[in-house]
Amino acid sequence: MSYESDQLLSEYLLMHYGTDEQLMPWDFGPKDAIGFPVRTVEHFPPGKCDRALDLGCAVGRSSFELSKSAAHVTGIDFSANFIAAAEALRTEGSINYPMRETGKQSKQATAVVPDGAHPENCRFVRGDAMNLPDDLGCFDRVHAANLICRLPEPEKLLSRLPELVKPGGHLVLATPCTWLDEFTPPANQPDEDTFEWLKKQLGGSFELISQQNEPFLIRETARKYQWTVSLVSLWRHCDEQDKA
Ligand SMILES: C[S@@+](CC[C@H](N)C(=O)[O-])C[C@H]1O[C@@H](n2cnc3c(N)ncnc32)[C@H](O)[C@@H]1O
């Protein structure tokens, strides 16, 4: 399955930029699941930094959030359709899209770059998180939300992370642990609990700072939603001082 369809583009634009009223008009609905791409970025420690990387950035909301505290932000996603939308938002400030109601019916909605963001400091690039360019450099903050269990070979990214995060820099990794054979062949899925596996994979280079469950919501139509819980963990890349 790929993330190129117009239906998924609309769902992600709404998830990233929709108003509370657009996303969850039902009083009895899980309103605390709104704003996931903003909440994951809030897991980084406060303060300014130089370079941030958003892997699997989709239509860019977390990248724009990162630009509030980072001087340079790179958002990378495999979907050409998602990257085109993020780039249009960056250059135009807003884009219109159809929000599906039911059957053939849809409403027009507008996605807007959030207040306080610095789109001029963001760049969006189509790329593969398992085969990132050698000259990408290293970052103070790396954010990878709901990406790892969508990769055919997740260990390729995990083994690159110590090189991508500067010593003393931070990594926010979120995963709903929703492994599916259509994305990740069974041989490449963890045999054990995903978080135990992550601790083994990252533990040699990273210190685990915190972990928290964060719900998120994808609205498919006016009456159909996906409600999922992601495990969000914050890691610090150990520096020479830690090892001494
Ligand atoms: C479940 S979505 C999460 C998007 C976003 N981070 C969020 O939390 O809303 C997974 C994203 O990863 C992207 N993706 C899938 N495989 C990828 C790969 N190999 N490299 C980079 N991005 C990838 C998809 O295009 C999609 O945007």
- Whether 130 is in the pocket of ligand 1, judged by its Cβ within 6 Å, is yes
> Is residue 243's pLDDT more than 70?
no
Per-residue pLDDT of 19-46, as tens digits, reads 999 999 999 999 999 999 999 999 999 9
| Closest listed residue to residue 84, CA positions, set 72, 73, 71, 97 | 97
Q: What is the pLDDT of residue 1?
A: 64
Q: Give distance in angstroms: CA of 15 to centre of ligand 1.
A: 14
**What are the Cα distances from residue 76, in Å, to 48, 136, 190, 201?**
21, 11, 25, 22
Q: Give distance in angstroms: CA of 129 to centre of ligand 1.
A: 9
At 162, which amino acid appears? Answer: P
Q: What is the pLDDT of residue 128?
A: 98
Joined tokens for residue 236: 């610090």
> Is residue 241's pLDDT more than 80?
no
Q: What are phi and psi of 35, to 5 degrees?
A: 85, 20
Which residue's alpha carbon is at the smallest distance from atom 19 of ligand 1? 128
Q: Give distance in angstroms: CA of 7 to centre of ligand 1.
A: 15
How far, in Å, CA of 97 to CA of 18, rounded? 11
How far, in Å, CA of 195 to CA of 145, rounded? 14
Report the 3 state secondary structure along the chain: CCCCCHHHHHHHHHHHHCCHHHHCCCCCCCHHHCCHHHHCHHHCCCCCEEEEEEECCCCCHHHHHHCCCEEEEEEEECCHHHHHHHHHHHHHCEEEEEEEEECCEEEEEEEECCCCCCHHHEEEEECCCCCCCHHHCCEEEEEEECCHHHCCCHHHHHHHHHHHEEEEEEEEEEECCCCCCCCCCHHHCCCCCHHHHHHHHHCCCEEEEEEEEEEEEEEEECCEEEEEEEEEEEEEECCHHHHC
How far is Cα of residue 163 from the mean position of the Cα atoms in its chain? 19
Q: What is the mean predicted confidence (pLDDT) over 166-185? A: 97
Q: What is the mean predicted confidence (pLDDT) over 229-239? A: 96
How many other C-beta atoms lie within 10 A of the C-beta of residue 195?
Answer: 15
Architecture of the domain whose range is 6-243: 3-Layer(aba) Sandwich (3.40)
> Is residue 144's pLDDT more than 90?
yes
Q: Give distance in angstroms: CA of 239 to centre of ligand 1.
A: 29
> Is residue 240's pLDDT more than 80?
no
CB of 109 closer than 8 Å to CB of 96: yes
Q: Give the torsion through C-alpha atoms of 214, 36, 226, 16, to 10 deg.
A: -170
Q: Give distance in angstroms: CA of 70 to centre of ligand 1.
A: 21
Q: Give distance in angstroms: CA of 56 to centre of ligand 1.
A: 4
Report the atom number in ligand 1 closest to the C-alpha of 174: 8
224 CB contacts (<8 Å, ≥6 apart)? none
Which of 82, 147, 214 to mutate for ligand 1's pocket (most ligand atoms within 8 Å of CB)? 147
Q: What is the pLDDT of residue 244?
A: 61
Which of 42, 57, 59, 78 to mutate for ligand 1's pocket (most ligand atoms within 8 Å of CB)? 78
Domain boundary assignment for the chain: 6-243
Report the atom number in ligand 1 closest to the C-alpha of 57: 6
- Whether 49 is in the pocket of ligand 1, judged by its Cβ within 6 Å, is no
Q: Give distance in angstroms: CA of 150 to centre of ligand 1.
A: 7
| Closest listed residue to residue 215, CA positions, set 74, 52, 79, 23 | 23
> Is residue 98's pLDDT more than 80?
yes
> Is residue 138's pLDDT more than 90?
yes
> Is residue 159's pLDDT more than 80?
yes
